Amino acid sequence: MQRSPQDRLYAATIGILSGFTMLLLLAPTAVVVIISFTGGITLKFPPPSWSMRWYAELLVSDEIIQPALTSLKVAVMATIGSGILGTAAALGIARSRSRLARILDALFMSPMVLPAMAFGLSLLLVFNMLAIRLSTATLVLGHIIICIPYVIRMVGASLQQLNPVLITCSLSLGASRWYTFRRVTLPLIRRGIIASGFVAFLSSFDNVPVSLFLADARTEVLPIKLWAILEGSLDVRVAAVSGVVVIATLLGLIAAERFGGFARQAARS
């Protein structure tokens, strides 16, 4: 069936806009990755020569390795904490139609709505009011708070797809609620939990505003360290770190899609 001129114009317009949007989203990442392979000593595009020297520099740079390990540790703990708390919250509010559930949902989503810098400052003021000294624990707690909304949204989407008849049948056959959760609910929402954990990990690992306010002098995380390095010089190691993060993220996306159905779960949420 031949399309009308209006349909062809519409398709062309959507194609051009989509291509321009993809260019805006991908171009900065592509530029950083390309620069990371430069043989020069400064951040310059296009690179004057090509080399892997800056990736080799990362392997012996304690200045970057230690903050990276700290960020990794904080992100893992924040992912576990937000996964447990967010899943529990999603179980409580996902299918509820009560006013309390709507209020709690809005409260849990507030870290995504409030400006990131204002939210980080608010957490700092709360800890000061409670006379809690800044430490790795306060940093992890702050990251858990900002990661919980992602978990609730994605696990909640999985729960919306879950047929409640399955849970009713399990309970009617004499199973306890804990047994039903372990053997029926949890396996069916597993993909949502895996996908939310992946998003929570990324959100924690590269977070700047909360880390800026809640990290103490002895807790140096990677994003803040890279920021400090760029303030002093155009160090190409920053681009190399970005390249490693981009590659690791792509590999994680492939693994999450392969084993957890990340793309399908993200689309549902």
Q: Give the CB-side neighbour count of residue 86, counting CA atoms within 13 A.
A: 33
In a 3-state reduction of DSSP, which class is residue 86?
helix
The pLDDT of residue 259 is 62
User: What is the residue-level pLDDT of the chain in tens, covering all 269 positions?
Assistant: 566 777 778 888 888 888 888 888 888 888 888 888 887 777 777 878 888 888 888 887 888 888 888 889 999 999 999 999 999 888 888 777 778 878 888 888 888 787 888 888 888 888 888 888 888 888 899 899 889 999 988 888 888 888 888 888 888 888 888 888 888 888 888 888 888 888 899 888 888 888 888 887 777 888 888 888 877 777 778 888 888 888 888 887 777 666 655 545 444 54
* CA 30 to the chain's CA centroid: 20
CA distance linking residue 70 with residue 76, whole number of Å: 10
CA distance linking residue 125 with residue 120, whole number of Å: 9
